[in-house]
Structure 1
Amino acid sequence: MTTLADVVDLVHGWYPPHTADSWDAVGLVLGDPAQQVRKVMLAVDPSPAVAKEAAEWKADLLVVHHPLLLKPVHGFAATTPKGRTLATLAGANCALLTAHTNADQALGGVSEALAHAVGLEDLTPIVAAPGEPRDKIIVFVPSDAAAPVRAAVAEAGAGALGNYDHCTFTATGQGRFRPLDGADPAIGTIGDIAVVEEDRVEVLAPRKLRRTVLEAMLAAHPYEEPAYDVIELGDPGFTETGTGRIGRLPEPQTLREFAQRVAEALPETAHGTRVGGDPEREVRRVAVCGGAGDFLLPQLSSADIDVYLTSDLRHHPASEFLEHGGPALVDVAHWAAESMWLPVVQKRLDDALGDTVVSRVSTTPTDPWTFRI
């Protein structure tokens, strides 16, 4: 049996809640973690119409991108749209789970899905997420006792690098010390200087595990008073996750051709695909940001890109951006851009849960604009 807790753990593993912005509201909104999940629906918005669709399909869980309760409320009576959404879901025993800014930045997230949808390759973040704080721990240990110390720190969580673990470096030298009265030396004699062949063992560890790793090292070390260093490492400044994505097209296109490519890749909306720039401009490198992206305009005005694809661009920031002679702009509907993420999550769920759970992308368009004249 697949429980709600099982699905939540999967989604949080892909899109960790701690990576969400501080103002955001993500995670499980409604539902009993112990309840069984057989059917999962995915949508951008937790609107009353989407909740109705989920209830009629008898979904056990609705996974959405936009939070339902981003600001504090004192109740959720069905006299408001938010209240009607919760009333409908609760009445159908359908849970609600949100992945918002934590899904924006992640691998397999919203901006990455948009970039892949328009055919971009070799993706990197526009703004890389900070790397996990790490320490370098250096300990000096008799050579014949180094193996247990290396094993102990590895078991405590140190020495993991990407797809590798038990990663350490060892150099050999001589340690000198003199045990004094009151000491109980594992090697040497009280009052005499001892010279010992020692290994300098270096290992990287997550800073959050510092105490655990040091305790494991001290427990495995034969000395009463081991010599060791803890060096806090700076952020290297690059990760695979972060805000937005920059990639390249397999072959250069004109701006007009690229805009047509975007229009064909995204769902049709009344908003359409708006373009700022010379239609014949050559496009090779493209920046994208799913959702409202004008906060990145200052950073991208002098970036090595040819066009910026995003949503909700305002008049004055967009005008000033183009007047500086920087990249072109392509502005698409917010809902359409973020909907590219839903099939990605669906495939991940299908791959992880097999035929024990059925998933479906909502067919209810929640773009607020319905027509244009």
Structure 2
Amino acid sequence: MTTLADLIAVLDAAYPPALAESWDAVGLVCGDPATELNRVLFAVDATAAVVEEAIGWGAQALVVHHPLLLRGVDTVAANTPKGALLHRLIRSGCALFTAHTNADSAAPGVSDALAAALGLTVTGPLVAKPEAAVDNWVVHVPRAHTDAVLAALFAAGAGGGGNYRDCALRVQAKGQFRPVAQAAPAHGVLGELQHVEEDRVEVVAPPAARSAVLAALRAAHPYEDPAYHLSERAPLPTALGLGRIGTLPEPESLRTFTRRVALALPATAWGVRAAGSPERVVRTVAVCGGAGDSLLDTVSRLGVDVYLTADLRHHPVDEHLRKGGPALVDAAHWATEFPWCAQAESLVRSALPGVLTTVSRLRTDPWTVASPG
């Protein structure tokens, strides 16, 4: 039997909750993880119409991108708009699950789906998330005590992570020291130069374990004052992060690229608009699903030809163009994130082949009317 817990495991593996921004609200909103799962509906928003669609189709789970309860709430009473939706879902046995900024930064994620819809070849994230910080400990140990010191370091949290444990580098070395003044050496006598057969040991550990590793080192090491060196690995970029940079199959004008966007994304009243010379040649493209005006300086610095995102405002765009930034293409927020639904559905379908999945075709973009003039 496939359960809601199985679905959560698949989605959390693809869109790790740890990637979510600190202000975000992701994960299971309502539902019992032990519930049997047969049908899952995917959408950008949990609107009333989408909730009714999920229930009418017999879904046991509705997976959305935008959180229903993003801001702090003190009630989900059934006489409030959002509370009414939650009560409707719970009574109908349909869970609600959200993957928001964690899906934005995942690889593949929201912007990968947007780039794929446009036919781009992705070269990397627009704003890369760094790898997790890692400490590298270098310790000199008398050879007869190496195993005991390593065992203590491992017990304190050093020596690897993920699928590997008790990892270390051991290099034979010859140490020397001269105890002076009030020293109480474990080997040798005051004033005389000592030579000791040692091992140079290197282990990695998370920075959060520094205090524990240092305490373990001092407790297990035979020397009064152990020789060690601690360094932290420089933050290295990963494939994770906001937005994506990609290249078109062939250069084309901004006018043509804007048309490409309009044809690739679902139609909305908002439509697609561009800022910049219509004949500007476009080769490299930056994309960010959803609101991306906070990254205008980033795309300027990276020197792409055009930046596609949503919710661009007059004054930031005007200032951006005055400073010689790349051309801009502005599409509806919902439309830029809609391709993600198919991506999420595809990975769930592959991981849980016994579950029936579908993407809601309801347009949840709030804009409903546009007039040409």
TM-score band (shorter)?
A: 0.7 to 0.9
Matched length: 369
Q: Which residue of 2 is the match for residue 84 of structure 1?
A: 84
Name the amino acid aligned to 1:107: A
Structure 1 residue 314 corresponds to structure 2 residue 294 = no
Quote the Cα distance in structure 2 between the aligned partners of 1:59 and 1:278. 47
Partners of 1:210 and 1:113 in 2: how far apart? 40
Q: In structure 1, what residue type is equivalent to 2:22?
A: S
2 CA distance for matches of 1:262 and 1:149?
Answer: 60
Write the distance in 1 (CA, Å) between the matches of 2:300 and 2:79. 45
Match of 1:323 in 2: 322
1:350: Cα distance to partner?
A: 2.2
Paired with 2:45 and 2:89, the residues of 1 have a C-alpha distance of 14
Q: Are the aligned partners of 1:152 and 1:216 in contact in 2 as well (CA < 8 Å)?
A: yes
Contact 2:43 2:50 in 1 (8 A): yes
Which deviates further from its counterpart, 308-317 or 359-368? 359-368
Alpha-carbon offset, residue 293 of structure 1? 0.9
Tell me the alpha carbon deviations over residues 202-230 of structure 1, each in whole angstroms, 9 at most, x when there is no partner.
Answer: 233222344565677678x6747682535
* Alignment map for 1:233-312 (pairs within 5 Å): 233=232, 235-312=234-311
What displacement does 1:71 show?
A: 1.9
1:95, distance to aligned residue in structure 2 (A): 1.0
Offset at residue 23 of structure 1 (A): 2.1
Which structure 1 residue ranges, 5 or more long, are not aligned?
none
Amino acid at match of 1:173: K
1:365 aligns with 2:358: no
Cα shift at 1:19: 2.8
Secondary structure of the residue aligned to 2:119 is coil
CA distance in 1, matches of 2:229, 2:19: 26
Inter-partner Cα distance in structure 2 for 1:156 and 1:2: 38
1:173 aligns with 2:195: no
- Structure 2 CA distance for aligned equivalents of residues 301 and 57 of structure 1: 46
In the aligned structure 2, how far is the partner of 1:349 from the partner of 1:225? Answer: 57
Aligned counterparts of 2:368 and 2:360: Cα–Cα separation in 1: 17
Q: Distance in 2 between matches of 1:40 and 1:138?
A: 51
Question: What corresponds to 1:96 in structure 2?
Answer: 96
Distance 1:175 1:2 in 2: 63
Tell me how far 1:291 sits from its aligned partner: 0.3
Counterpart residue identity of residue 141, structure 1: V
Question: Which amino acid is the alignment partner of residue 361 of structure 1?
Answer: V
Contact 1:243 1:289 in 2 (8 A): yes
Q: Secondary structure at the match of 2:97?
A: strand
Q: Taking structure 1 as reference, are residues 91 and 294 closer, same or farther at Cα in structure 2, changes over 3 Å only?
A: same
Q: CA deviation at 1:284?
A: 1.4
How far apart, CA to CA, are the structure 1 residues paired with 2:33 and 2:164? 33
- In structure 2, relative to structure 1, the CA distance for the partners of 1:208 and 1:34 (3 Å cut) is farther
Alignment CA distance shift 1:161-1:35 (3 Å) = closer
Q: Deviations over 1:133-185 (max 9, x none)?
A: 2211112234466567668757876455999873647463325587xxxx996
Q: Distance in 2 between matches of 1:151 and 1:197?
A: 20
| 1:104–1:244 CA contact under 8 A, matched in 2 | yes
Specify the code of the residue in structure 1 equivalent to 2:245: I
Superposed, 1:327-342 pairs within 5 Å as 327-342=326-341
Tell me the SS of whatever aligns to 2:329: strand
Q: The residue matched to 2:138 in structure 1 has which SS?
A: strand
**C-alpha deviation, 1:99, in angstroms:** 1.5
Secondary structure of the residue aligned to 2:53 is helix
Structure 2 residue 60 is matched with structure 1 residue 60: yes
Amino acid at match of 1:367: D
CA distance in 2, matches of 1:117, 1:31: 32
Q: RMSD between aligned alpha carbons?
A: 3.3
Letter in 2 for 1:362: S
Q: Does 1:120 align with 2:120?
A: yes
Cα offsets for 1:212-260 (capped at 9, x unmatched): 65677678x6747682535242642523222222222233222222222
User: Quick one: structure 1 residues 109 and 189, their matched pair in 2 at CA, closer, same or farther if it must change by over 3 Å?
Assistant: same
**Larger CA deviation: 227-236 vs 338-347:** 227-236
- Paired with 2:152 and 2:357, the residues of 1 have a C-alpha distance of 43
2-side partners of 1:346 and 1:225: how far apart?
60
Give the C-alpha shift of residue 56 in structure 1.
1.1
CA 1:143–1:302: 2 relative to 1, 3 Å: same
Kindly state the Cα deviation for residue 328 of structure 1 after the two structures are TM-superposed: 0.4
TM-score normalised to structure 1 length = 0.85
Equivalent position of 1:131 in the other structure: 131
Q: Which moved more, 1:3-12 or 1:264-273?
A: 3-12
Q: CA deviation at 1:106?
A: 1.7
Q: Aligned partners of 2:344 and 2:201: how far apart in 1?
A: 42
Contact 2:31 2:93 in 1 (8 A): yes
Alpha-carbon separation, structure 1, partners of 2:62 and 2:224: 56
Check whether the contact 1:335–1:366 (CA below 8 A) recurs between aligned residues: yes
C-alpha separation in 1, matches of 2:10 and 2:155 = 24
Contact 2:4 2:33 in 1 (8 A): yes
